[in-house]
C-alpha cells in the first residue's frame, strides 16, 4: 500500500487534495453562473432582455440619467394580464424577472 507520494506522507496529502478539489469545483460553478449573466450597456440591449423575460408588449423605452455617471433605462410594458409595468435597469446590470 502506498504510504507516501513524492516523499509526502498520505496523511498530509489527503487534506490538500480535498481542498484543491473543493476550490476547483467552486470555481467551475462561479464561471457557470457568470456565463448566464448578460449586463445591459445600451437601450436596445435593455429592450431585448425585457422582451425575452417578460411576455407582453413594449409600450415605451427611454434613457434617463441616474446618479453620477450611471445611466438608467426605463422600459414600460403591457403584460399579458393587461397591466402596465415600468422597469428600471441601471447600465451595467442584468435584467431580472
Q: What is the pLDDT of residue 6?
A: 59
* 96 inside domain: no
Q: Range of 20's domain? A: 4-36
Mean per-residue pLDDT, 29-57? 78
Helices then strands, counting H and E runs in the chain, come out as 2, 5
C-alpha 26/C-alpha 18 separation (Å) is: 12
What is the model's pTM?
Answer: 0.59
The answer to the question of residue 69 being in a domain is yes
10 Å Cβ neighbour count for 22? Answer: 10
Considering the domain architecture, whether residues 84 and 61 belong to the same structural domain is answered as yes
Secondary structure element (H or E) that encloses residue 51, with its range: helix 43-53
- pLDDT score of 2 more than 70: no
Same domain? For 50 and 86 the reply is yes
Please indicate, yes or no, whether residues 50 and 82 belong to a single structural domain of this protein.
yes
pLDDT at 29 over 70: no
**Cα angle 50, 59, 80; round to 5:** 70
For the ranges 1-5, 30-34, 40-44, 45-49, the lowest mean pLDDT is seen at: 30-34
**What is the C-alpha separation between 15 and 73, in angstroms, rounded?**
49
The pLDDT mean for the chain works out to 79
Q: What are phi and psi of 24, to 5 degrees?
A: -65, -40
What three-state secondary structure class fits 95?
coil
Amino acid at each position: 500500500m502506498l504510504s507516501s507520494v513524492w516523499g509526502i506522507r498520505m496523511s498530509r496529502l489527503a487534506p490538500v487534495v480535498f481542498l484543491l478539489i473543493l476550490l476547483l469545483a467552486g470555481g467551475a460553478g462561479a464561471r457557470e453562473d457568470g456565463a448566464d449573466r448578460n449586463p445591459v450597456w445600451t437601450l436596445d440591449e435593455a429592450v431585448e432582455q425585457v422582451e425575452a423575460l417578460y411576455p407582453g408588449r413594449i409600450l415605451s423605452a427611454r434613457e434617463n440619467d441616474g446618479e453620477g455617471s450611471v445611466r438608467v433605462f426605463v422600459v414600460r410594458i403591457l403584460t399579458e394580464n393587461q397591466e402596465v409595468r415600468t422597469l428600471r435597469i441601471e447600465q451595467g446590470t442584468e435584467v431580472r424577472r
